[in-house]
Amino acid sequence: MRNSILSLLLLLTAILATAQDAPDFTVTDTRGNVHQLYNDYLDNGKTVVLKLFFVGCPPCTNIAPEYQHLYESWGAGNDDVVFLSFSTRSIDSNSGINNYLNGLGVTVPASGTGGGFEASEPYRESDFGDYWGTPTFIVIAPDGEVVYFASNSNLIAIDNAIRETGASGVGLIEDPTNYTFNFADLFGNPVNNVSVKIIDLNPGNDTEYDVALNGLNEFSIQDFDEEYPGITNPAFHFTPNGPANQSLSSLDLITINKHILDVELFTNPEMALAADVNGSNSVSSADMIIIRKLILDLLDEFPNGLSNYIITDNDRPVEIISGDSISIYVKMIKRGNVK
């Protein structure tokens, strides 16, 4: 899933580091190709993405497959976006870099002793923002402005920065995550008319959003950060609607009475939980009186502010898995309904 606050902070750091043009460079990559920033790319309307790394850099190695995917998603250098990687160490030869990247399956053009080390210097010297080591990513718009500079591995933020330069292409557009909810009572019967919200589990954050389910209790999330801003630790919260006496009948009273008289004890502890309608942590005739009053419409709610349903596993963390279909089963124990 995407972490919206982290992404926002990283992007804000990048934005604050802009407002000046990138210095020109001429480098030779590991395949012997020469690259000039302005003459070859910016002056031709291209967006340029730079990655600062060094051979053996652990986080650079870890992110290599995802970075290769980002590169390919923007046309692998054949469209509006050009990717180049520069070593931050003068000892990284072009041949050594070539062997390193080949072992990772990375085809992004790279340079070290071919001028890449020198070309990375303005960024290592923090001319465009705080440099915290590798990997560091720079996005340069066609007009030469550095629109993104950050020492992190947030490829979503980089993808967004590329898109904001006006570059055309697919990029990291994610497929939606599809959800299906199965709301059922203690006996497996469907529970209808359930409200779903997305809330933040972080203390003090009361941001929440209503979720609109279709008739099959389904919905999708395409871009979580855009659709649910302000949520950093998301969870689904469920609220069944309907009257307190819904599903209650004299059969419930008979069943509870048998339990109280030790004639037929509850074998499922969840039935005892349902029968305890006053929240006393026990089942007694007082619970039967409340249920009888609800059935007769002498009461319209459970005492002590108790909800109509007990959901033992409410506030389910939201999983964002691009293109996946996720089924969520929610057991809803109706107070007083034991038969």
pLDDT band at 174 (very low <50, low <70, confident <90, very high): low
Structural domains present in the chain: 4-164 (3.40.30.10), 177-334 (no CATH)
Give φ, ψ of 263 to 5 degrees.
-80, -45
Global confidence as pTM: 0.52
pLDDT at 51 over 90: yes
- Please give the Cα distance from 208 to 265 (Å, whole number): 42
In this prediction, what percent of the chain has a pLDDT beyond 70?
94
- Please give the Cα distance from 138 to 118 (Å, whole number): 15
pLDDT at 306 over 70: yes
Section 49-71 average pLDDT: 95
Q: What is 209-230 written as a DSSP string?
A: EEE---TTSEEEES-HHHHSTT
Section 66-72 average pLDDT: 92
In 3D space, the residue among 163, 131, 145 whose CA is nearest the CA of residue 19 turns out to be: 145
In 3D space, the residue among 246, 258, 262, 231 whose CA is nearest the CA of residue 335 turns out to be: 246
- Please give the Cα distance from 31 to 85 (Å, whole number): 13
Q: What is residue 8's predicted lDDT score, i.e. its pLDDT? A: 45
- Please give the Cα distance from 221 to 212 (Å, whole number): 11
In 3D space, the residue among 119, 6, 146, 114 whose CA is nearest the CA of residue 52 turns out to be: 119
- Dump pLDDT digits (tens) for 189-203: 999 999 999 999 999
- Please give the Cα distance from 126 to 4 (Å, whole number): 26
Q: What is residue 5's predicted lDDT score, i.e. its pLDDT? A: 43
Q: Between these two residues, 4 and 226, which has the higher pLDDT value?
A: 226
- Residue that the structure tokens 């050009």 belong to: 82
Size (the chain), residues: 339
Establish whether the linkage from the previous residue to 135 is cis, with ω within 30° of 0.
yes
CB contact at 8 A, 46 and 82: yes
Section 33-62 average pLDDT: 97
Q: What is the mean pLDDT of the chain?
A: 91
The vertex-39 CA angle with 38 and 44, nearest 5°, equals 85
For the chain, the distance separating the N- and C-terminal CA atoms, rounded to the nearest angstrom, is 41
Query: What are the strands, taking DSSP E only, across 160-285?
Result: 177-184, 194-200, 208-211, 218-221, 234-240
- Dump pLDDT digits (tens) for 238-297: 999 989 999 999 999 999 999 999 999 998 999 999 999 999 999 999 999 999 999 999
Task: Please tell me whether residue 71 adopts helix, strand or coil conformation.
Answer: helix
pLDDT at 136 over 80: yes
Q: What is residue 234's predicted lDDT score, i.e. its pLDDT? A: 94
